[in-house]
């Protein structure tokens, strides 16, 4: 038998083997066969299921400080709407620094250094007290120790004027003595830390170019 005939026989055998192999795979509908294409309504593409996004949930920046749905919470939300840059946590951080700065300026009789941060009424009240001390020959020596407690007590927002007001309750700790003209202590103890409780209200026109809040009212 010639070599050409032998080659034809070998090739024919390989072809038969491949045909049988393919038939076994296709006939079982296994492997990588694509499913039949849908027809009619089934042909419409199935919409992708996206993750559900829940809007309008509680603002933790607000509910961390006042009850959800309370008048104060509603006022704070209105402030945020009027001024998206407003953040309650950041405001309270600034209020902490303002409390120390303004309180110590008052204690030391240097209220003019914080005039931009207090209203005219508050400035006049502080200035009157300081002037009264001077007339009596009294001086105050104080050292600020820290703030023991700070909490948001209330908040209001005027839709017409866009003025937001936030009331903060402070419990400060400081040492303070009052001396007379001769330098004698008439009140206080330099070695005793006393607690001072204050309720201050800060206000600002929300959305204005001036980012500073002003102290507009004080109380205990």
The domains of the chain are located at 60-219
pTM: 0.72
Give the pLDDT of residue 22: 40
Cβ neighbors of 146 (< 8 A, separation 6 or more) are 172, 173
Q: What is the pLDDT along the chain (220 residues), one digit of tens a residue?
A: 555 545 555 455 555 444 444 444 444 444 434 444 444 444 455 444 443 334 557 899 999 999 999 999 999 999 999 999 999 999 999 999 999 999 999 999 999 999 999 999 999 999 999 999 999 999 999 999 999 999 999 999 999 999 999 999 999 999 999 999 999 999 999 999 999 999 999 999 999 999 999 999 999 8
Give the pLDDT of residue 3: 53
Nearest to 172 by CA among 200, 154, 195, 192: 195
Distance CA 76, CA 104 (A): 29
* CA distances in angstroms from 219 to 66, 158, 170, 174, 191, listed in the order given: 20, 22, 10, 18, 26
Q: Write down the CATH number for the domain with range 60-219.
A: 3.10.450.240
Nearest to 178 by CA among 142, 127, 139: 139
């Amino acid at each position: 038998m010639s070599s050409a005939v032998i080659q034809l026989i070998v090739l024919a055998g390989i072809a038969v083997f491949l045909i049988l192999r393919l038939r076994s795979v296709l006939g079982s509908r296994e492997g990588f066969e694509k499913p039949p294409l849908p027809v009619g309504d089934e042909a419409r593409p199935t919409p992708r299921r996206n993750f559900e996004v829940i809007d309008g949930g509680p603002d933790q920046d607000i509910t961390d400080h006042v009850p959800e749905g309370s008048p104060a919470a509603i006022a704070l939300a209105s402030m945020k709407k009027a001024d998206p840059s407003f953040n309650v946590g950041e405001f309270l951080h600034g209020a902490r620094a303002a409390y120390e700065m303004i309180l110590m300026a008052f204690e030391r009789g240097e209220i003019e250094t914080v005039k931009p941060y207090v209203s005219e009424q508050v400035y006049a009240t502080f200035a009157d007290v300081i002037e009264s001390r001077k007339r009596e020959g009294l001086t105050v020596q104080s050292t600020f120790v820290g703030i023991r407690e700070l909490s948001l007590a209330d908040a209001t927002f005027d839709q017409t004027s866009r003025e937001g007001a936030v009331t903060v309750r402070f419990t400060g700790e400081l040492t303070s003595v009052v001396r007379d003209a001769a330098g004698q202590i008439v009140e206080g103890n330099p070695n005793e830390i006393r607690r001072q409780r204050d309720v201050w209200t800060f206000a600002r026109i929300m959305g204005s170019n001036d980012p500073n809040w002003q102290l507009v009212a004080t109380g205990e």
